[in-house]
Amino acid sequence: MKISIIIPIYNKESFIQKCIGSCLNQDFDDFEVIAVDDGSPDKCGEICEEMAAEDSRVKVLHITNSGHTAARKYGVEHSSGEYITFVDADDELLPGALTKMYDTITRENVDEVIGSYITNTGQTRIAPWQGKVNSEVLLEDLLKGRNSFCVLWGILFRRDILQGCLNIPREVSGGEDILMQINVLLKQPRVFVLSEPVYLYSLGTSLVRPNYARSIITLHETLQASLEKKAPRYDTLFRIFKAKHYEDYINYYEQNDSLDEHYAPLRTLSGSKGVPTKDRIILMLPRCLGKTVVKSYRKYIHRI
């Protein structure tokens, strides 16, 4: 088996048939679809079983609800492909996606091929780099909160490069895909970036994530542990990563005592070398004023 497509599924009943259909309609000749029903309370499991009965390339796995990361890991463990790609249940693969990524990963002899993508609103998102890209460049992009490329979906991975990268704590219910990609990039893989779109990403369909405070704290603790194993040179980038999350927090969420305490040490970063001036200003300001600056800056960025 050349490629395994892993789809973690939870409460996506209205999307899953089109998602799996987009995978089955690929012009590639050797792949399997591993649909992991993560204890979904809707009819996702039934729909997947019906599609599997009609097409032997679809395999359905049912597990107790364990979260997206655990579902992805379980799918990988029960797959047989030499290469792995992940598709979210509310998204789709574009026609020819598998062929484009497989031809590239074998021709260029790399560990992962990152495609471009389009959104359900018609926007095309192309990464600022093409061809072979140094993994450190991509790692820095993620840690600085830019996320200028497909993070986990829209990517074809050589199977063994994922080893040990999917052990993300269940508590991390947002940003787990970034953690997984960071774990891969810390292995310094050979990466090739395609300018051609291979993936349709649906905006505005994400589920509400509970326990945000616990999730973000565990995310930071897990990332810090991963970075510390590699090199102290990531210290400043980790601080920038936390600063960006602080900006998201004050911009989108009501005040939370646990998170206020978690982010309090960031105020000491206001004079840290390497932390962008804008971020240092926001860290120094009282929360309400910092929120105003964040909103104004992001509104300005969206206009240009």
Per-residue pLDDT at 304 exceeds 60: no
Helices (H), 110-265: 135-143, 176-185, 212-228, 235-252, 257-263
CA distance 213 to 304: 32
Do 219 and 244 form a contact (C-beta atoms < 8 A)?
Answer: no
C-alpha of 202 from chain center: 13
CA distance 182 to 143: 9
Average pLDDT taken over every residue of the chain:
91
pLDDT digits (tens, 9 = 90+) for 202-233: 986 665 555 788 899 999 999 999 998 777 78
Residues 6+ apart with CB under 8 A from 163: none
pLDDT digits (tens, 9 = 90+) for 164-192: 999 999 889 888 999 999 999 999 999 99
pLDDT digits (tens, 9 = 90+) for 253-275: 888 888 889 988 887 766 666 77
Look up the pTM and report it. 0.92
List domains and CATH numbers for the chain.
3-201 (3.90.550.10), 231-303 (no CATH)
Q: DSSP 3-state assignment of 26?
A: coil
pLDDT of residue 139: 96
**Sequence-distant contacts of 233-240: CB under 8 A, at least 24 apart:** 234/143, 236/272, 236/273, 236/274, 236/275, 237/139, 237/140, 237/143, 237/144, 237/274, 238/143, 239/266, 239/269, 239/272, 239/274, 239/275, 240/143, 240/144, 240/145, 240/274, 240/275, 240/276, 240/279
CA distance 132 to 22: 28
CA distance 87 to 206: 14
Tokens 């009282």 correspond to 286
